[in-house]
Structure 1
């Protein structure tokens, strides 16, 4: 209920911000400003994650830590630093594919990450826009550590902890993005 309420409250301001950002992205890169990618959700079910485009067309379907600096657009670097590229994921929250807080959804090609998450029970969680690992500055280049850290979230869950993680994310705590900005 928390996710749905917060997503509905943020929907209009986020839509306005996304609209403005989409115009800037289109003028900067002359490409579709929205990026849709298949990710793994709860119980490894695939879903379509929506973000603002931060990389050039043709970059490929790979994790951020495998992406070179030249693939990130000028506007994309700013979007990633400010986390504005994540705003369209409110749609994923409204659709029930994601939560505000949880493990970041991995790509189907990230086999080692999926296996590690199964071992720690993290695959049973709804993925999140932010989470413990992101606030701690971890990214998907260390799948075992990432899964173990996200597994800690299972035992320590509380609504207050989620709120604190959201506040820390909003204040810029952690990166969780290994793309070379």
Structure 2
């Protein structure tokens, strides 16, 4: 990974500003979602999951809970085989379930753009990221692999996109990835 002023300091400043603005701007959506989940089944609106972060340091990732209480941790590729609550179905379709990760960005566990945080059990993916230097990056809310995603994308392809991103982390590249992500979010919702 090539170090630049942006990757050393500017990226973190950008993350802090963007996450703060998003949390303030989306506060009504965040509160309404949390209340809907809590009313839906009486449980906590947040789902916590251990993920592998920068330099493989584990952290607690936050999401809005879309599955019934007590559901075990699995990689997102298994989402179609898991039970989803009625509120969960809606928040996944409009991609609101990931918004609590803005808190992870503020805490420094994540970035707005970077490789998606892997489960510690995704040993093969983590090994490929280690080889390419992508493991040295903070995981992101979105990334190059996500804007090029297709169903059942193999881990080696994800790792390739992570490697390409890690080779040159720049503000223009991050802005292009964010713009592509926003365009993706405007597409018809996925089917679960």
**TM-score (norm. length: structure 2):** 0.84
Provide closer, same or farther for how the CA distance between residues 102 and 138 of structure 1 changes in structure 2, counting only shifts above 3 A.
farther
**Does residue 1:117 correspond to 2:132, yes or no?**
no
Given the alignment, which residue of 87, 95, 102 partners 2:99? Answer: 87
Q: Which runs of 5+ in 2 are unaligned?
A: 1-12
The answer on whether the counterparts of 1:101 and 1:129 sit within 8 Å (CA) in structure 2 is yes
1:155 counterpart = 2:170: no
Is the contact between residue 137 and residue 174 of structure 1 (CA under 8 Å) also seen in structure 2?
no
1:88-143 alpha-carbon deviations (Å, 9 max, x no partner): 11111111111000000001111111111111211011100000111111578622
In structure 2, the residue corresponding to 1:25 is in which secondary structure? helix
The answer to whether the 8 A contact 1:79-1:85 is kept is: yes
Q: What is the CA distance between 1:146 and its match in structure 2? A: 0.8
Q: Is this contact kept in 2: 1:35–1:50, CA < 8 A?
A: yes
Query: What do you get for the CA RMSD once the two structures are aligned?
Result: 2.2
1:52 aligned residue = 64
Matched length: 178
Structure 2 counterparts to residues 7-26 of structure 1, below 5 A: 7-26=19-38
Report the CA distance between 1:15 and its aligned residue. Answer: 3.0
* Pick aligned residue for 2:146 from 134, 153, 158: 134
* SS of residue matched to 1:75: helix
Change (3 A) 1:69 1:25: farther
**Aligned residue in 1 for 2:118:** 106
Does the residue aligned with 1:48 lie in a helix, a strand or coil? strand
Please report how far the alpha carbon of residue 14 of structure 1 lies from its aligned counterpart in structure 2 after TM superposition: 2.8
Q: How far apart, in 2, do the equivalents of 1:108 and 1:70 lie?
A: 20
1:144 aligns with 2:156: yes
